[in-house]
Structure 1
Amino acid sequence: MPAKQRKIALMGFRSVGKSSLTIQFVENQFVDSYDPTIENTFQKTVKIDGQEFVLQLVDTAGQDEYSILPQSYYMNIDGYILVYSVNSQKSFEVVQFVYDKLLDMKGNIGSIPVVLVGNKCDLGFEREVPVEAGKKMAEKWKVPFLEASAKENQSASKVFEQIVNTIERASGNVPEKNGCILS
């Protein structure tokens, strides 16, 4: 069976760890220094449930509530990983704004493969966004939710596995799993 190509965009407020999650997944390393991303593309081949996937990961520049999303952020993208930082209420608000923008561009709830990720869960002592708030938002959007830590390599690969499974379900290739809310 030939490998399936999937293009995935990571979106969210600046410095929430989009690049760190991506590099942790692709290169198995944590990058501590923060250089604002303009836009980077990474590629990784993975095997999920016996199927090979070539993932093209678009690590976008940080968005805010005033961002105009370039057409490239919604053309030919198979799925979205929306990332906020658990220690930033502002990033949680921005991810809601980004989701609304995607809906405006792509269509109604349920038609866009999305995974909501609360990153930096290793910073529990600085937490501003409770786990329950992330779960509640994901339930409202009807999307999977995970918390992750790029720094501690906690759930980084699960995030990308989850978006691939979500894309496949949306395209009718995988049966719906019970309880898609993960934590």
Structure 2
Amino acid sequence: CLLHWQLFTWVFCPLSQPQQTSRMAANKSKSQSSLALHKVIMVGSGGVGKSALTLQFMYDEFVEDYEPTKADSYRKKVVLDGEEVQIDILDTAGQEDYAAIRDNYFRSGEGFLLVFSITEHESFTATAEFREQILRVKAEEDKIPLLVVGNKSDLEERRQVPVEEARSKAEEWGVQYVETSAKTRANVDKVFFDLMREIRAKKMSENKDKNGKKSSKNKKSFKERCCLL
């Protein structure tokens, strides 16, 4: 009877609270790890609003005087075209000054938001150099997901970079140009989601090519094993 009661308790009684919490945490962790992860790198001169854009996207907050001294990484679960995914954002802050660190960051990124301030023409000019650095580090890749972002569009009266000039440069590079405002949240979601779509499209294309090559190799291997009688 005692044995039967122990079996009944083990099978039918609910888990204790610590066990339930542990099981739920493990299931949540497993669920999150199975989601697609898109790695985004924020690139641009200091003071253009990279951190403000990131914090606005992450927490719906505008932080005007945020001055990071090191790179900050953020992760968020979002719904991209009906699919739950995770976005990992690296705000490079002042690390652009250190070539080795910068190259490692660029190498790990899957997509880039190349940010400048429309109120500072020098920051726009600097985007060309940042782009060249990305292309150099990612030289083995055919197409690199990248958007040019003109931030601080709410400061139209202080504009130094004409829309036509920025758009022309983006067209020359074959990328999209979007103007944003971290303060008013204008187009903030758009730039992150559009970049994630480009990253996703590239991954799908690479997987398709990889599967195609694998299939072709298997067919060739099968033919090589056959002989005509």
Q: Which moved more, 1:102-111 or 1:30-39?
A: 102-111
Counterpart of 2:182?
Answer: 150
Q: Which runs of 5+ in 1 are unaligned?
A: 174-183
Q: Which has the higher strand share?
A: 1
**Which has the larger Rg?**
2
1:116-135 equivalences in 2 (<5 Å):
116-135=148-167
Question: Does residue 82 of the first structure (1) align with residue 90 of the second (2)?
Answer: no
Question: Does residue 136 of the first structure (1) align with residue 168 of the second (2)?
Answer: yes
TM-score, scaled to structure 1? 0.86
Structure 1 pair 24–170 and aligned structure 2 pair: CA distance change class (3 A): same
1:30-49 equivalences in 2 (<5 Å):
30-49=62-81
Counterpart of 1:91?
Answer: 123
Partner amino acid for 2:99?
A: I
Asked whether the 8 Å contact 1:109–1:141 carries over to 2, the reply is no
1:1-183 equivalences in 2 (<5 Å):
2-62=34-94, 68=99, 70=101, 71-107=103-139, 111-172=143-204
Q: How many residues align?
A: 172
| Matched position secondary structure for 2:90 | strand
Cα deviation, 1:107-163, whole Å, max 9, x if unaligned, reads 279621101100000111110111111211111111111100000111111110011
Q: Which runs of 5+ in 2 are unaligned?
A: 1-30, 206-229
| Matched position secondary structure for 1:122 | coil
Identity %: 34
Cα offset, 1:34, TM superposition: 3.3
Cα offset, 1:171, TM superposition: 2.5
TM-score, scaled to structure 2? 0.70
Cα offset, 1:94, TM superposition: 1.1
CA RMSD of aligned residues (A): 2.0
Query: Structure with the greater relative contact order (CA < 8 A, sep ≥ 6): 1 or 2?
Result: 1
